């Protein structure tokens, strides 16, 4: 016992939490004695080499280090029970599973999990945490009060889970990268496409008929004698404000140059937040349709925001789902670090 206390006094305990945010890796780091833990540092790194170097320097010679990673592989999810009957809802033959509190099940593709571990083989991983575990901890004060949908939004992905008073009832994980948004936009714009023979697709037939009816009505209006009357219109040169119009045209390139970058960010945010909202819609629809779930009414929506959502995301939910979401900002790497420390305390 005395020897253990001596070792604890000689060596630092290091906790490291890694979150892959797509364009960068966010790392929370805490170094200190067990009796005197240091403050948490958060780093943003852009390459695997930078991450390896940071961890190597942090660990040093200490035998006490714990490294946690947030699981962001696409093929993962959760089920509302641990017994074999619930496993019929998903093919888990090639998955790693973990029963949580004896009441609900996490699962993840074994192949993808092995790839994650291989990427971090230099120093190894002690924990790979599910985003549903993060949601469960982050909203521990809310889970149990009402049946609610809990959403974790981070760069590149979104995790959605319905929790009842005592367990997870539904879980879905989805990516939100640029290819998903491009596919969504292509689907939305397909309604304006025409077939190979130059005619409108069948779904536009009704619109075309309305247009033809309108043209016919215009041609039958009293006093309309054709296009000859157009010559009676005033010359454009007689418009007093034409000079102002020319000045406005000359100013356009300058205005566009100033605003193009801001407009790009606004459009990007709009697309992302709308895409995230559609995933919330789809999750609720799946939860209510699938008879495997208890399908109790979802009374509230709680969102853990790791990206800085725009007000539009909240507005979409309010206007389309008639619910007001509660949105909390989450420092994801720090939250993961807390999970890591809790696990090591329980293990001890």
Q: How many residues does the chain have?
A: 348
Q: Report how far residue 79's alpha carbon sits from residue 108's, in angstroms, rounded to the nearest whole number.
A: 11
Higher pLDDT, 7 or 72: 72
Mean pLDDT taken over the chain:
79
Write phi, then psi, for 92 (nearest 5 degrees).
Answer: -110, 15
Confidence (pLDDT) at 196? 37
pLDDT band at 266 (very low <50, low <70, confident <90, very high): very low
Give percent of the chain with pLDDT exceeding 90. Answer: 53
Confidence (pLDDT) at 63? 87
- For residue 31, give the H/E element and its range: strand 25-32
DSSP reduced 3-state for 153: strand
Contact 160, 151 (CB under 8 A): yes
Q: Report how far residue 142's alpha carbon sits from residue 135's, in angstroms, rounded to the nearest whole number.
A: 10
Q: For 258, left (φ over 0), alpha (ψ -120 to 50), or beta?
A: alpha
Confidence (pLDDT) at 202? 42
Question: Residue 202 has which token pair?
Answer: 């069948």
Confidence (pLDDT) at 8? 65
Mean pLDDT of all residues in 140-159:
95
DSSP reduced 3-state for 198: coil
Range from 116-120, 144-148, 169-173, 220-224 carrying the lowest mean pLDDT:
220-224
Quick check: 293 pLDDT over 80? yes
Confidence (pLDDT) at 12? 84
pLDDT band at 2 (very low <50, low <70, confident <90, very high): low
Which tens digit of pLDDT belongs to each residue from 61-72?
A: 788 899 999 999
Confidence (pLDDT) at 260? 42
Higher pLDDT, 285 or 2: 285
HSE-up (13 A, CA, CB side) for residue 65: 19
Confidence (pLDDT) at 225? 46
HSE-up (13 A, CA, CB side) for residue 304: 27
DSSP 194: B
Which tens digit of pLDDT belongs to each residue from 17-56?
A: 999 988 899 999 998 876 566 789 999 999 989 999 999 9
Question: Residue 138 has which token pair?
Answer: 């982050």
Q: What is the pTM of this model?
A: 0.75
Quick check: 237 pLDDT over 50? no
What is the SS3 string spanning 39-92? CEEEEEECCHHHHHHHHHHHHCCCCEEEEEEECCCCCEEEECCCCCCHHHHCCC
Where is mean pLDDT largest: 7-16, 153-162, 260-269? Answer: 153-162
Q: Report how far residue 201's alpha carbon sits from residue 197's, in angstroms, rounded to the nearest whole number.
A: 10
Confidence (pLDDT) at 227? 40
pLDDT band at 158 (very low <50, low <70, confident <90, very high): very high
Helix 311-321, helix 242-289: angle, nearest 10: 60
B/e letters for 196-206, b = 16+ CB within 10 Å, e = fewer, are eeeeeeeebee
Question: Residue 102 has which token pair?
Answer: 């004896």
Beta strands at 40-45 and 76-79: parallel, antiparallel or unpaired: unpaired
Quick check: 86 pLDDT over 90? no
Quick check: 199 pLDDT over 80? no
Which tens digit of pLDDT belongs to each residue from 124-138?
A: 999 999 999 999 999
Higher pLDDT, 265 or 335: 335
DSSP 312-348: HHHHHHHHHH----EEEE--HHHHHHHHHHHHHHHH-
Contact 78, 106 (CB under 8 A): yes
Place of tokens 């170094």: 31
pLDDT band at 345 (very low <50, low <70, confident <90, very high): confident
Quick check: 194 pLDDT over 80? no
Place of tokens 């592989």: 73
Rg (CA), the chain: 29
Contact 136, 168 (CB under 8 A): yes
96 CB burial (10 A radius; 0-12, 13-18, 19+):
middle
């Amino acid at each position: 016992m005395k020897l253990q206390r001596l070792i604890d006094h000689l060596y630092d305990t290091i906790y490291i939490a890694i979150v892959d945010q797509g364009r960068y890796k966010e790392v929370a780091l805490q170094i200190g004695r067990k009796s005197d833990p240091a403050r948490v540092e958060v780093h943003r790194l852009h390459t695997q080499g930078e991450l390896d170097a940071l961890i190597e320097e942090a660990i040093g010679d200490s035998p006490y280090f714990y490294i946690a990673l947030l699981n962001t592989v696409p093929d993962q999810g959760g089920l509302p029970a641990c017994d074999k009957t619930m496993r019929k809802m998903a093919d888990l033959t090639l998955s790693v599973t973990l029963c949580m509190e004896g009441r609900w099940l996490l699962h993840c593709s074994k192949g993808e999990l092995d790839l994650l571990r291989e990427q971090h083989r230099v120093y190894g991983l002690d924990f790979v945490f599910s985003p549903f575990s993060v949601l469960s901890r982050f909203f521990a004060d809310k889970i149990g009060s009402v049946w609610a949908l809990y959403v974790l939004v981070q760069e590149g992905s979104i995790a959605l889970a319905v929790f009842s008073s005592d367990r997870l009832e539904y879980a879905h994980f989805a990516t939100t990268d640029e290819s998903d948004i491009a596919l969504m936009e292509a689907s939305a714009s397909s309604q304006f496409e025409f077939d190979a023979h130059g005619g409108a697709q069948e779904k536009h037939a009704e619109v075309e008929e309305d247009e033809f009816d309108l043209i016919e009505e215009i041609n039958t209006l009293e006093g309309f004698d054709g296009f000859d009357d157009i010559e009676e219109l005033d010359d454009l040169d007689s418009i007093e404000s034409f000079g102002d119009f020319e000045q406005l045209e000359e100013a356009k390139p300058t205005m566009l140059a100033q605003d193009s970058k801001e407009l790009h960010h606004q459009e990007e945010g709009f697309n992302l937040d709308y895409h995230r909202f559609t995933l919330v819609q789809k999750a609720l629809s799946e939860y209510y349709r699938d008879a495997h779930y208890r399908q109790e009414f979802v009374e509230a929506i709680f969102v853990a925001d790791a990206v800085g959502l725009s007000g539009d995301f909240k507005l979409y939910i309010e206007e389309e789902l008639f619910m007001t979401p509660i949105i909390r900002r989450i420092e994801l790497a720090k939250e993961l670090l807390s999970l890591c420390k809790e696990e090591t305390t329980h293990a001890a």
